[in-house]
Amino acid sequence: MANADEIRAAAESVSGHPGPMLSAYLGVSAEDPENQERAYLLRLREAMERLGVPEGVRRRVRERLEGETHPGARTLAVFAGEDGLLEVYRLNLELPEGFRWGEPYTAPLLLALDAYEPYGAAVIDAERLRYFVVSPLSSGEAAHGYREVDLSPQTPGPRGKSDYDPVSRRSEANIHRYYNELGGIIREATFREGVRRLILAGPKERTAELLGNLPEDVRERVVGEEHVDLGAPEGELLERLEAARREAERRRQRRLLEEIRERGVRGLEPTLKALQEENRVHHLAVLWDLEGEVRWSDAEGLAVTDITAEKSPFSGEPTRVRPLLDALLELAASRGARVDLVRDGENARMLREELGGVAGLTRF
């Protein structure tokens, strides 16, 4: 499976490919009830017909995707052109579904890869330590994209209550040494795999002991503890880890929105000005289902909120109508701003009702 850097390089190559081409972001998660009986294939066919994609391109895309019963991903990013180009990237990331025929539209893919912070999960029981890494890319080989890292060789751990008895074969000093050794193993795996956020999982007493013995530069990356039954089936274990990861992401987004509320910009007009004219926004928060349109000037690569402005106020060049979300993603990509797409629950309510649906953290 290609890594994120390889996908990024390939997507940047697609950006320079002569158009027109199909750019499609297709939600294929098996967890989404709207995808029962592979309904996403129907949405894709209807979108290609609506956009007027040439039959040859449509046929190649259909042949590529319809033969796959299980895509093994949350989102498929598809790029196809009349010259035979057909690239399909499988992502464990959720992106807003969208379809374009024209210039290559890679901004959502590139922004998602740039913004993704790799998660790791250290799972400990009385016998061993296991370490999983969550990739933004999907190989279809594991639930939710969790890949287990080989940590061998390992030292057997404390097995039960008797191991905490002072007269047992494993003294308190040995137990402390054991957890210190585990901390070193976890640190090596964390830095080798580029993990920025770490979840500890296992029996409560194990994770608490492990947390207290982690090196400081690893402990500061711990974002959650999950108390799991390690006798559960593998799929159930990974589902619990994924639930813990999603909760950690919800808390991270909440902190971002609170920081924006305290010292950032909010609302479309102020945020757009700070982003595109002043280049002050380094982290943008946008509603997942943000609606609306703006005028777009290809001459400057700038958005115009006056939907009646057929000429750019910046250069006098012609403008065209473009979905607001598309314009914001392209502006963020061109200015190196990170983007959080806020989808559900209290975070979405806060962004919509208190921050105007579009908001950002500023550099100054």
Q: What is the mean pLDDT of the chain?
A: 88
What architecture (CATH level 2) is domain 264-362? 2-Layer Sandwich (3.30)
Strand order in the sheet with 146-149: 146-149, 129-134, 119-124, 197-201, 222-226
- Residues 290/323, Cβ–Cβ less than 8 Å: no
| Residue ranges per structural domain of the chain | 4-115, 119-252, 264-362
Average pLDDT over residues 151-177: 57
In tens, the pLDDT along 263-314 reads 999 999 999 999 999 999 999 999 998 999 999 999 999 999 999 999 999 8
Q: Looking up tokens 């589902």, which residue turns up?
A: 239
Average pLDDT over residues 315-319: 95
Q: Which of these, 111, 112, 115, 89, lies nearest to 23 by C-alpha position?
A: 89
Average pLDDT over residues 211-238: 90
CATH number of 119-252: 3.90.180.10, 3.40.50.300, 3.30.420.60, 3.40.718.10? Answer: 3.30.420.60
What architecture (CATH level 2) is domain 4-115? 2-Layer Sandwich (3.30)
- Residues 186/132, Cβ–Cβ less than 8 Å: no
Average pLDDT over residues 78-106: 91
Compute the distance between CA of residue 53 and CA of residue 101 in angstroms, rounded to an integer. Answer: 7
Position 163 confidence tier, pLDDT thresholds 50, 70, 90? very low
